[in-house]
Amino acid sequence: MALNVLYFAWVRERIGEPREKVETQAATVMELIEELRAREERYAMAFSDLSALRVAVDQELTEFDAALDGAREVAFFPPMTGG
């Protein structure tokens, strides 16, 4: 499956791009993270501390064990600081 993977704030800076298409068989967000970590050092750096990260699947905030079946867009970002 082809996923649009988006990065925001310092996650975007560490990865070096705001979005990319990822071809993956990952069943969950965590499996996707493991695949990305194994790719290159910059991903391993960005995903080194998951407690500092949040994830949204198809623009809904969710958990790292969330399933990816049918998902089109996954976004990784730090805790939000609006208001």
Is 64 a binding residue for another protein by CB under 8 A? The answer is no
Residue 26 neighbours by CB under 8 Å, 6+ apart = 32, 34, 35, 68
Q: Nearest 5°: CA angle at 64, between 62 and 68? A: 75
Residues 5 and 76: beta-carbon distance below 8 Å: yes
3, 5, 6, 33: which one binds another protein (CB under 8 A)? 6
Binding segment toward another protein, per CB under 8 A, in 21-29, 30-38, 43-51, 56-64 = 56-64
Our finding on whether 51 is near another protein (CB under 8 A) is no
Closest CB 72 distance from another protein, rounded Å: 12
What residues make contact with another protein under the rule CB under 8 A? 6, 8-10, 56, 59-61, 75, 77-83
